[in-house]
Amino acid sequence: MKHRSKAAPGILLAALLALFLGSACVRLNEPSTYRCDSDADCDSDEHCATFGQCQSDSNCEFDDDCKGGRICNAGSCVAPQCTQASGQCGLFACSLGRCMTSCSGNSSCRPGATCVGFTCFDPGSIANEQTCTADTVCQSQHCCVTNSGSRVCRASCAKSVGETCALGVECATSFCCPTRGQMPLTCAAVPCSQVPECDFDLDCNGGKCTAGKCVAVPPQANGASCSSSVQCLSTFCQGSTCRAATGEACTLDDDCQVSHRCCLGQTGTTGLCSGEDGKCRARLGARCTKDEDCISGTCNEDAWCTQNCATNAECGVSPWGDANACETNALGQKICFPGCSYDSQCQNNLGTRYYCDPAFDSAAKICAYN
């Protein structure tokens, strides 16, 4: 493509056109840019720009619009800010003729410098308690992880008193101890044996606070004083007292959990605590008409509460005081039968069709019907 001539014929052409077009408007000034394929198509003070137009060497949109190694800055071709990887941009790197002014990684910094928080630092230049990424950038050569998980330069990474720890070697004092019986462990100023672990029993997660130390105590029987449910065999501490669980022995309602009842035996023997609904359920061998009547959840022949068993010991004692027996029923199953000594015990508690007969599988006597 050949460049245009900038001589006077352009004006002459415009005058001739005016003669033909009368009062029509015409452009007398020729356009400032023309299509080009190479710099040879443009004037000596121009170059063929990115989009194939002749453009002044002083104007640009991209670095490629500039010649002689210059870069495009604010629409003008200028000399590059830097030409070397280091030494010309301070702690930052030189990229495409420009000095970097922030960093997202070490590659944005001059060789040897480290990027920390969008700023480049020389090795060993960051003061204590300032953010760091590696030991080498700290004056102390110790980049330490804090309790919050951040990293800062410190004189030593050994943790100070009060900071969380897992082992004594993490602490400046070498003492990693429980405090007030709680977790996690923290670095202490004195040996662990001298650190108060508790002020109150509640600090000890079920133990007792004795002379500032948590002492484990064995689970207590129902009726014993308590401050935590783990102190009770029943696992229920209510009103500072260990209380019986559902199905456990009781003599009064207060022996059971709040809202539960003490369901007394049929002959005045020790009762059992009801369920949460307060409804009394019968023990093994006691009278029932449906499964829901029984603590075991099984009512046999709509007559007595039972359960599957393997030995007599699993069947307990009947409400009237005789040992129940594990016997084979008509279906070949081993279940608990109510124990007895007299026919009247069976008839008064289970019905007139029941009699006290010798068991089949043991020397016991059980209630059965003929």
96 neighbors 89 (Cβ within 8 angstroms): no
With b meaning 16 or more CB within 10 Å and e meaning fewer, what string describes 82-118?
beeebeebebbbbeebbebeebeebebbbeebbbbee
pLDDT at position 34, please?
65
User: In terms of DSSP bridges, do strands 143-145 and 249-250 run parallel, antiparallel, or are they unpaired?
Assistant: unpaired
| Letter string b/e over residues 192-220, b meaning 16 or more CB atoms within 10 A of that residue's CB | eeebebbeebebbebbebeeeebeebeeb
Query: Could you tell me how many residues make up the chain?
Result: 370
Within 8 A by CB and 6+ apart from 148, the residues are none
Q: What is the pLDDT of residue 2?
A: 41
Cα separations in angstroms, 21 against 25, 171, 198, 309 = 8, 97, 107, 121
1: how many CB neighbours lie within 10 A of its CB?
13
Q: What is the pLDDT along the chain (370 residues), one digit of tens a residue?
A: 444 444 344 444 455 444 544 444 443 444 444 688 887 888 877 777 767 888 777 788 888 888 778 888 888 888 998 988 777 898 899 988 999 989 988 889 988 888 888 888 888 888 888 889 888 889 888 898 887 788 899 888 888 888 888 888 888 888 998 776 566 888 888 888 888 778 787 777 777 787 777 777 788 888 888 877 888 888 899 988 999 988 788 888 888 998 888 886 544 456 788 888 878 778 889 889 999 888 888 999 889 999 999 999 999 888 888 999 999 998 999 999 999 999 999 999 898 999 999 998 888 999 998 7
Name every residue whose Cβ is closer than 8 Å to that of residue 216 and which is 6 or more positions away in sequence: 206, 207, 208
DSSP 8-state code for residue 307: -
Q: Note the pLDDT of residue 269.
A: 54
Comparing C-alpha atoms, which of 208, 209, 214 is closest to residue 192?
Answer: 214
SS3 assignment, position 152 = strand
Provide the pLDDT for residue 87: 77
User: For tokens 């002689």, what's the residue?
Assistant: 68
CB distance 141 to 125 below 8 Å: no
Q: Rounded to whole angstroms, how far apart are CA atoms 92 and 25?
A: 57
Looking at residue 270, its pLDDT comes to 66
Whether the link from the prior residue into 184 is cis, omega within 30° of 0, is yes
The verdict on pTM exceeding 0.85 is no
Q: Which amino acid is at 296?
A: S
- Report how far residue 329's alpha carbon sits from residue 361's, in angstroms, rounded to the nearest whole number: 10
Which DSSP helix (H) or strand (E) runs through 170?
Answer: none
What gap in Å lies between CA 163 and CA 190, rounded to an integer?
14
Segment holding 15, helix H or strand E: helix 9-21
**To which residue do tokens 């590696």 refer?**
134
